[in-house]
């Protein structure tokens, strides 16, 4: 018994000291959630002291219960058992948080850890009080004292241990600030140029706190994000966002811009396509734009922080009109040492409050955040002409039925945001998954069909095709009706006939007139959207007889993959100051548009086709109309993709087909009339 008591006394200081440190650091971390270096080291101290407390307390409790189980004091025994249960739950929840981190779906585990920790402290106090009140007077008068397991000098020892722990945290905090290199706020290019005024990012509309440059490690760190958010990261890697700078057509265009107007002019594009290059101060003579292979900006494209770091919107005119604020760093955030990176990730997983506050703010859920890059204008400082409006998918969404802000349905609750359409909820085991195990998809499926094919990403290509074919656009052929159709040999006054019931047919030699109705019923903005000068949408219309003879065709592809020039297109044609088409997407030459045809959200377009029914036609005729789409148009693709060019397939977004009989019109002779 004496040996057991002696061993118990030896570990009592370790147990109670580590428990006290864990309690104090845990309380400080919970109550004072300021993201200071000292607070983070305190949180790290809580994790370490919690581990030591768990290790030392388990043998202590086993010995303690063996020694005291025979004492017949119900209150003390019961409170001790409750204390043991709370300790087990506290350790289990703490270990789960330590090993698996905190997630949205399992946030209850963190709540239970807090609750059991508070309960443990309260019941421990009750247990000690009951111990004092109900133990016999002979124990109180014995040489061993009221608590024989507590050695002499116990208070001084744990006091010294607690003070030493605070000292270690303070020293570690000061040393960390002094030794760890802080992020740079200076441009990478030493002689940074300011040809567009004092603002470092113009003509891009991007802002940062105090107009400071942002260290590339703070914005180009997507690989670090993938350490925890692997599933979401893999989705992003397949997206057009991630390939925004490495897209070979973009590489061609940004190189053309830099060659013609200097690398500083690339700031106009890079705020959206390669924010890493813009914000780190690369876009000046001697630096590299995002189209240069091997650069971080080229690799990252629209990085994780490019969207999640947006803290406000200075305006919604576009051209990267966002303010990006770097996330507050956790310990060893920029460490290249594997051990330091491990500590950083563990801290972030275990104490994600600041991480969530920085990167999951309300603005990222607002469609306005999309307007920053999906709205565009060109000013005189770029085209040497004047202000020109370009794409504006956000304004088109505001005018659509989906925004809930049009005249007939103002402030509707049935609002469908950009995120709801292009980032649907999908099942995931990601730490950010909600209570139903769902996250917003980061594939950003939209209308870019050529990038997945270029990359060999069949899964992403299928996702894009399924998105395009998900009944967002509808096409129907109006069945023609005839007023001179004969249904019966008996004469019927035409005013009594229901024309909708009249049979449909064409006579040989007759001119057919067909209406095709195309409705934008599910796209939240104009169709097509985005770069309407590069996107190619058109109506393919064919007529064949029963033997497969082609009677009429419009919108077919030739053997070089070019679309029939006389096809019915949905597109825009930008022009330069000489009135010539700006077909290379060299928008710095654009001063306006000579043509634009789109279908607004919720509206329809009627296309009329006419053709003559030839004598050789065999009944019936099959009339087929298809709304086709491809990214990019073939002329631009051959120029921009160069040796990476391939025949980009067109996607059938909507289609309809009808059959119409063909008849020979019998001529009535004069003899028959006389009879």
Asked if residues 294 and 234 have their Cβ atoms less than 8 Å apart, the reply is no
Q: What is the pLDDT of residue 413?
A: 60
Computed on alpha carbons and rounded to an integer, the radius of gyration of the chain in Å comes to: 36
Nearest to 378 by CA among 228, 233, 533, 517: 533
pLDDT in tens, 29-53: 888 767 888 889 999 999 988 898 8
The Cα–Cα gap between 565 and 267 comes to 36
Is it the case that residue 672 has pLDDT exceeding 80?
Answer: no
Mean pLDDT of 110-136: 85
Q: How confident is the model at residue 143 (pLDDT cuts 50, 70, 90)?
A: very low
Question: In order of start, what are the domains of the chain with their CATH numbers?
Answer: 2-179 (1.20.950), 209-387 (no CATH), 471-663 (2.60.40.2550)
Using CA atoms, how far apart are residues 325 and 228, in angstroms rounded to an integer? 21
What pLDDT is recorded for position 336?
82
d(CA 278, CA 268) in angstroms, rounded, equals 9
| CA-to-CA separations, 366 to 371, 373, 394, 445, 488, in angstroms, rounded | 10, 14, 11, 18, 63
DSSP 52-107: HHHHHHHHHHHHHHHHHTT---HHHHHHHHHHHHHHHHHHHHHHHHHHH---STTH
Read off the pLDDT band of 486 (50, 70, 90). low
The structure's pTM equals: 0.86
Binning pLDDT at 50, 70 and 90, where does residue 62 land?
Answer: confident
Mean pLDDT of the chain: 88
**pLDDT at 490 > cutoff 80:** no
Residue-wise pLDDT for 175-224, tens only, equals 988 888 889 999 999 999 999 999 999 999 999 999 999 999 999 999 99
**SS3 label, residue 334:** coil
Closest-CA residue to 450 (of 606, 615, 630): 630
Task: Pick the more confident residue, 569 or 23.
Answer: 569
The predicted-structure confidence for 385-398, as pLDDT tens digits, reads as follows: 999 999 999 999 99
Lowest mean pLDDT among 153-157, 287-291, 573-577: 153-157
* Residue 142 banded pLDDT, cuts 50, 70, 90: very low
pLDDT of residue 140 exceeding 60, the answer is: no
In which element (H, E) is residue 345 found?
helix 338-350
Average pLDDT over residues 221-247: 95
State yes or no: pLDDT of 166 exceeds 90: no
């Amino acid at each position: 018994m004496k040996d057991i008591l002696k061993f118990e006394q030896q570990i009592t200081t370790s147990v109670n000291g580590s428990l006290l440190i864990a309690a104090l650091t845990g309380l400080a971390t919970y109550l004072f959630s300021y993201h200071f270096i000292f607070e983070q080291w305190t949180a790290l101290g809580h994790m370490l002291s919690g581990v030591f407390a768990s290790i030392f307390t388990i043998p202590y409790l086993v010995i303690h219960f063996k020694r005291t189980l025979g004492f017949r004091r119900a209150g003390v025994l019961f409170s001790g058992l409750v204390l043991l249960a709370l300790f087990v739950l506290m350790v289990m929840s703490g270990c789960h948080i330590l090993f698996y981190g905190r997630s949205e779906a399992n946030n209850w585990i963190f709540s239970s850890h807090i609750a059991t920790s508070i309960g443990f402290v309260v019941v421990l106090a009750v247990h000690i009080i009951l111990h004092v009140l109900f133990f016999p007077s002979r124990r109180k008068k014995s040489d061993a004292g009221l608590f024989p397991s507590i050695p002499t000098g116990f208070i001084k020892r744990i006091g010294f241990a607690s003070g030493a722990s605070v000292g270690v945290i303070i020293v570690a905090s000061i040393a960390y600030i002094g030794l760890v290199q802080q992020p740079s706020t200076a441009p990478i290019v030493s002689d940074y140029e300011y040809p567009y005024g004092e603002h470092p990012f113009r003509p891009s509309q991007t802002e940062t706190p105090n107009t400071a440059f942002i260290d590339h490690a703070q914005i180009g760190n997507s690989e670090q994000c993938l350490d925890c958010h692997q599933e979401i990261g893999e989705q992003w890697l397949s997206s057009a966002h991630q390939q925004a700078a490495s897209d070979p057509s973009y590489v061609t265009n940004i190189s053309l811009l830099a060659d013609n107007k200097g690398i500083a002019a690339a700031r106009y594009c890079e705020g959206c396509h390669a924010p890493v290059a813009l914000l780190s101060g690369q876009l000046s003579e001697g630096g590299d734009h995002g189209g240069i292979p091997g650069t971080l900006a080229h690799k990252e494209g629209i990085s994780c922080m490019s969207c999640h770091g947006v803290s406000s919107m200075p305006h919604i005119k576009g051209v990267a009109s966002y303010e990006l604020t770097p996330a507050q760093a956790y310990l060893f955030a920029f460490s290249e040492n594997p051990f330091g990176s491990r500590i950083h990730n563990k801290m972030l997983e275990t104490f994600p409050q600041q991480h969530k506050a920085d990167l999951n703010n309300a603005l990222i859920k607002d469609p306005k955040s999309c307007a920053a890059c999906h709205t565009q204008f060109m000013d005189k400082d770029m085209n040497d002409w004047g202000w020109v409006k370009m794409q504006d998918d956000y304004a088109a969404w505001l005018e659509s039925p989906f925004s809930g802000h049009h005249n007939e349905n103002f402030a509707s609750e049935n609002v469908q945001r950009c995120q709801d359409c292009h980032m649907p909820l999908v099942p995931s085991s990601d730490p950010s998954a909600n209570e139903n195990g769902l996250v917003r998809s980061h594939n950003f499926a939209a209308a870019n069909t050529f990038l997945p094919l270029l990359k060999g990403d069949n899964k992403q290509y299928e996702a894009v095709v399924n998105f395009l074919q998900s009944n967002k656009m509808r096409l129907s052929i109006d069945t023609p009706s005839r007023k001179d159709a004969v249904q019966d040999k008996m004469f019927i006054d035409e005013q009594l006939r229901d024309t909708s019931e009249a049979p449909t047919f064409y006579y040989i030699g007759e001119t057919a007139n067909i209406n095709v109705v195309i409705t934008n019923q599910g796209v939240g903005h104009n169709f097509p959207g985005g770069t309407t000068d590069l996107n190619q949408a058109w109506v393919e219309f064919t007529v064949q007889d029963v033997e497969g003879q082609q009677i009429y065709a419009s919108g077919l592809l030739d053997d070089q993959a070019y679309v029939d020039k006389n096809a019915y297109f949905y597109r825009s044609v930008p022009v330069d100051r000489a009135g010539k088409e700006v077909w290379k997407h060299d928008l710095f030459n654009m001063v306006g548009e000579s043509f634009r045809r789109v279908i607004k959200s919720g509206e329809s377009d009627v296309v009329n086709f006419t053709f003559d029914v030839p004598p050789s036609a065999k009944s019936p005729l099959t009339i087929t109309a298809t709304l086709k789409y491809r990214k990019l148009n073939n002329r631009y693709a051959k120029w921009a993709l160069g040796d990476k060019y391939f025949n980009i397939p067109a996607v059938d977004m909507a289609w309809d087909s009808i059959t119409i009989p063909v008849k020979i019109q019998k001529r009535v002779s004069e003899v028959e009339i006389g009879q």
